[in-house]
Structure 1
Amino acid sequence: MTDSDFVTSTRVFYDTVAEDYAERFRDVLTASPVDRAMLDAFAELVGRGGAVADLGCGPGRVTAYLDSLGLSVFGLDLSASMLAIARREQPGLRFEQGSMLELDMADSSLAGVMSWYSSIHTPVDELPRLFAEFLRVLAPGGHLLIAFQVGDEPKRHDKPFGHDVILDFLRRQPETVVELLEGAGFTLVSRTVREPDPSELTRQAFLIARKPL
């Protein structure tokens, strides 16, 4: 696993805040019908039983939702503390520790890749490498769903929940991400941007892309 500065800082941040973070966002998917609709669409495109990696799975709640839709899904995350929560709360699912930038998976081994707000700590100059790795592990015709906050300036979280850690949450413009995905070899399938709900500060973007046949 590449242990660059942003990877290390991301791991330390989530190891520190894991329990508070998991509790704070416990019901966020239940309260977001548009977000669930995007996951439903992704699952239908992948197809029932399709092998999917939920990369940056955190406490595993999106992993569990994809499992409920009939996908053969497992979660991967940098943070051992997040994975401990995921394994505790979803004991029937598989969770592994690792980096999205260096996936221990064979070429063309997946029908779907999920990056649900997990690329938001990756600097923009590292995104081509990240998207190339997503493309590598997808089978031809496989689908990627990537979600992120829309914007131009990062949101710095300094001492969240009273913990002495700091991390930038990077916002993107959908057009920038689409260009990078297409540059990596993906074909765009869907671009959705929704307005922020009362608990959010920015619009939210959901891109579905496909690896060409």
Structure 2
Amino acid sequence: MTPPDIDPDDALLDRIRVAYDTVAEPYADQFADELAQKPLDRALIDGFADQVRATGVDGPVADLGCGPGQVTRHLADRDLPVFGVDLSPEMVRLARERHPGLDFRAGSILGLAVADRSLAGVLSLYSVIHLPRPVLPRALAEFYRVLRPGGILLLAFHVGAGQLHVDTWFDRPVSFDGHLFDPDDVADCLAEAGFEVRARMRRQPYPGIEAPTERAYLFAHRPAG
């Protein structure tokens, strides 16, 4: 039982942070060029960038759960003002090393060091998968808080029910859970947070290069006014 003076969400974040610090080097090596093998993901990220520009909303874009920075780089190459945030200091170090000149910061999606209504867009690709369902609304509320009215959110996660536990990753000992979500339930959570969901897409995994779980992508925005 968790002692009453310890925030269970802090303990959760500590486990995730340690796991990703542990695998940061091999993870960065494996996923450095992942978008080259994922044409649909590239199209969705490019569509996100186009939507952010089309809104005319001023402000930068945040890549939340940026890992070693490959998606942040992709967005920067499309002339979006962007910064990356990751829970793992080792991931942030590698992102800065591999993508000099870009802005990478250590931080948590449960408590972003970002001002209210300051961002034109939020990209969150699989950063919520380590959150138990009861904690998910807290992250979505943070995304809503930091977006300007009219700002765009692209959220991606694994589809299903329950969770998958991992004890070994890249041949290194870790301990964390990956949570699967129902897209309709996540859409409802977004609506409860104040978002309007504009589009949904599901896809099967790319054979041989991804874990064998279905993926979901939700486009939403913070209503203007």
TM-score for both structures, normalised by structure 2: 0.90
> Which residue of structure 2 aligns with residue 148 of structure 1?
157
Aligned length: 213
Post-superposition Cα deviations, 1:133-187, rounded to whole Å, max 9, x if no partner, equal 1101100000111111111132222111221212111111111110100110000
- Look up the match of 1:84: 93
Task: Give the % identical residues.
Answer: 48
Structure-2 separation of matches of 1:192 and 1:70:
25
Partner of 2:77: 68
- Residues 93-144 of structure 1: CA deviation (Å, up to 9, x unaligned): 0011111111111111000011111111111111111111110110000011
Aligned to 2:215: 204
Work out whether 1:188 is the aligned partner of 2:197.
yes
**Of residues 10, 15, 25 in structure 1, which corresponds to 2:16?**
10
CA distance in 2 between partners of 1:8 and 1:109 (Å): 27
Structure 2 regions of 5+ residues with no counterpart?
A: 1-6
SS at match of 2:35: coil
AA aligned opposite 1:136 = R
The residue aligned with 1:129 is 138
Q: Indicate the residue corresponding to 1:22 in structure 2.
A: 28
The one-letter code matched in structure 2 to 1:125 is: P
Q: What's the RMSD between the two structures over aligned residues?
A: 1.6
Structure of larger gyration radius: 2
CA distance in 2, matches of 1:100, 1:69: 24
- Is contact 1:2-1:101 (8 Å) kept? no
Structure 1 stretches (4+) deviating beyond 6 angstroms?
none
State the distance in 2 between where 1:62 and 1:102 align: 21
> 1:3 & 1:179 partners in 2: Cα distance?
22
Distance 1:161 1:137 in 2: 34
Please report the TM-score for the alignment, with normalisation by the length of structure 1.
Answer: 0.95
